[in-house]
């Protein structure tokens, strides 16, 4: 059954930095190619990732792949700072800037194109959200426009029938994206303080999180596991499988 189309594909080459919207992506066994494949570690805490929780301004740094994507190695990762400067993600000037802002000693961690473990990504391979749910949440919040970037989805689906939160009823079922890819909905996404951080200003407003807690039992978006890998594109049809 046709339920919608892929409206946006978003991957995050560097964990907790702003992602990049792409027209196509490979779906690997772990999720989108290169998603959360690079990360900064807080050296004051053994193997703990530096995230928006510790440094809200990370939402204002944008990471992107530059160059040909290969299964043997990733393209170069560039970071654009809030001031518009462009750095290689391992540039010491950039790292020093992040250390000064976070007041932490930072090191880097990189995974391979064939394997990004659960942990850097989240608790599951892919996070999905829908336009109808975002619009309804904006209505429930009643304060401002709700930017989808607050929720950091990988796939943003435009529903054929605009039924808010219908994706939660699909948990336990599979969808087919385009001609190759299949994923299975496995659970709700429980939300944390990250959604309170404005993606443009990095200012915090807890009222959105309070609305999600009150109106949606702190759930927004659904996690999915990859069943069949392949290529997906913006505009691909999304079919709910029997």
Residue-range domain boundaries for the chain: 2-240
CATH architecture of the domain 2-240 equals Beta Barrel (2.40)
Per-residue pLDDT at 238 exceeds 90: yes
pLDDT, tens digit, 9 for 90 and up, residues 6-42: 999 999 999 999 999 999 999 999 999 999 999 999 9
Q: What is the mean pLDDT of residues 109-113?
A: 94
Among all chains, which residue has been given the structure tokens 């996690």?
Answer: 223
Per-residue pLDDT at 122 exceeds 80: no
The half-sphere exposure of 107 on its side-chain side, counting CA atoms within 13 A, is 8
151: CB partners within 8 A, 6+ apart: 127, 129, 134, 189, 191, 195, 220, 221
pLDDT, tens digit, 9 for 90 and up, residues 136-194: 999 999 998 999 999 999 999 999 999 999 999 999 999 999 999 999 999 999 999 99
pLDDT of residue 118: 76
Per-residue pLDDT at 195 exceeds 80: yes
pLDDT of residue 44: 85
pLDDT of residue 64: 98
Among all chains, which residue has been given the structure tokens 């010491």?
Answer: 92
Helices (H), 51-196: 92-102, 131-141
Question: Considering the entire predicted model, what is its pTM?
Answer: 0.94
- Give SS3 for 194: helix
pLDDT, tens digit, 9 for 90 and up, residues 210-226: 999 999 999 999 999 99
Tell me the average pLDDT of the chain: 95
Quick one: DSSP state of residue 45? S
pLDDT band at 123 (very low <50, low <70, confident <90, very high): confident
pLDDT band at 46 (very low <50, low <70, confident <90, very high): confident
Distance between first and last Cα of the chain? 8
pLDDT band at 79 (very low <50, low <70, confident <90, very high): very high
pLDDT of residue 11: 96
Least confident of 65-74, 112-121, 204-213: 112-121
């Amino acid at each position: 059954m046709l339920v919608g189309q892929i409206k946006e594909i978003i991957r995050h080459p560097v964990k907790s930095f702003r992602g990049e919207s792409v027209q196509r992506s490979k779906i690997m066994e772990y999720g989108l190619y290169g998603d959360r494949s690079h990360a900064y570690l807080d050296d004051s805490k053994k193997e703990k990732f530096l995230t928006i929780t510790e440094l809200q301004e990370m939402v204002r740094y944008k990471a992107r792949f530059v160059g040909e994507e290969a299964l043997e190695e990733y393209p170069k990762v560039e970071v654009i700072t809030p001031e518009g400067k462009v750095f290689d993600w391992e540039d010491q000037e950039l790292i020093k800037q992040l250390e000064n802002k976070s007041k932490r000693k930072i090191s880097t961690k990189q995974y391979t194109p064939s394997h990004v473990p659960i942990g850097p990504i989240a608790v599951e391979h892919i996070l999905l959200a829908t336009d109808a749910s975002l619009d309804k949440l904006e209505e429930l919040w009643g304060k401002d426009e709700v930017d989808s970037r607050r929720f950091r989805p990988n796939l943003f689906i435009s529903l054929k029938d605009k039924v808010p939160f219908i994706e939660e009823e699909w948990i336990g079922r599979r969808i087919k994206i385009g001609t190759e890819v299949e994923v299975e909905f496995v659970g709700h996404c429980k939300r944390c303080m990250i959604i309170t951080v404005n993606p443009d200003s990095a200012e915090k407003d807890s009222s959105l999180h309070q609305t999600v807690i009150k109106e949606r039992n702190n759930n927004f978006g659904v996690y999915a596991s990859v069943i069949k890998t392949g290529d997906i594109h913006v505009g691909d049809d999304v079919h709910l499988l029997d």
